[in-house]
């Protein structure tokens, strides 16, 4: 499989799952145990506005190759922008999902951990 030939839609789909898993791991490690609290807390990480904010922290840490992948996702044209996000936030969040999907397929799990922690300010 040539990762560079995978569509941005497919990478974003996969990256969304990768980010969701990182969020769930983080929340469980903090001691959250009820599904109600886990679901409400997870929204603070997975909404487009939150992902866009995280990307502002991540962008300075990206290699040139990672920046290209992020921009490939960010610049993807889409017609369905949720009402809870601006176009800019949604595009940045999509770029983050594409980046994390790409890193996952490259087997760069420690890089995913590093960027996730930096993005959300997790020690």
With 0.85 as the threshold, say if the pTM is over it.
Answer: yes
Q: Give the count of domains, the chain.
A: 1
Q: pLDDT digits over 1-51, tens only?
A: 788 889 999 999 999 999 999 999 999 999 988 998 899 999 999 999 999
Report how far residue 121's alpha carbon sits from residue 123's, in angstroms, rounded to the nearest whole number. Answer: 6
CB 98, CB 70: distance < 8 Å: yes
- 40 is in which domain, residue-wise? 3-120
Indicate if 16 belongs to the active site.
Answer: yes
pLDDT at 33: 87
Q: How distant, in Å, are the alpha carbons of 3, 11, 18, 33, 67 from that of 50?
A: 27, 19, 15, 22, 19
Q: What is the pLDDT of residue 85?
A: 76
Burial 6-45, CB ≥16 within 10 A → b, else e: eebeebbebbbebbeebbbebbeeeebeeeeeeeeebeeb
Among the listed residues 9, 16, 64, 113, the single catalytic one is 16
CATH code assigned at 33: 1.10.1520.10
């Amino acid at each position: 499989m040539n990762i560079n030939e995978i569509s941005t839609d497919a990478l974003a789909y996969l990256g969304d799952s990768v980010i969701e898993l990182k969020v769930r791991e983080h929340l469980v490690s903090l001691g959250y145990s009820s599904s109600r609290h886990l679901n409400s807390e997870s929204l603070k990480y997975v909404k487009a506005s939150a992902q866009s904010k995280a990307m502002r922290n991540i962008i300075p840490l990206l290699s040139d190759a990672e920046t290209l992948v992020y921009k490939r996702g960010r610049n993807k044209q889409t017609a369905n922008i949720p009402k809870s996000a601006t176009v800019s936030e949604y595009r940045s969040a999509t770029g983050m999902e594409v980046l994390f999907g790409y890193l996952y397929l490259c087997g760069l799990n420690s890089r995913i951990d590093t960027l996730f922690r930096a993005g959300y300010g997790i020690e």
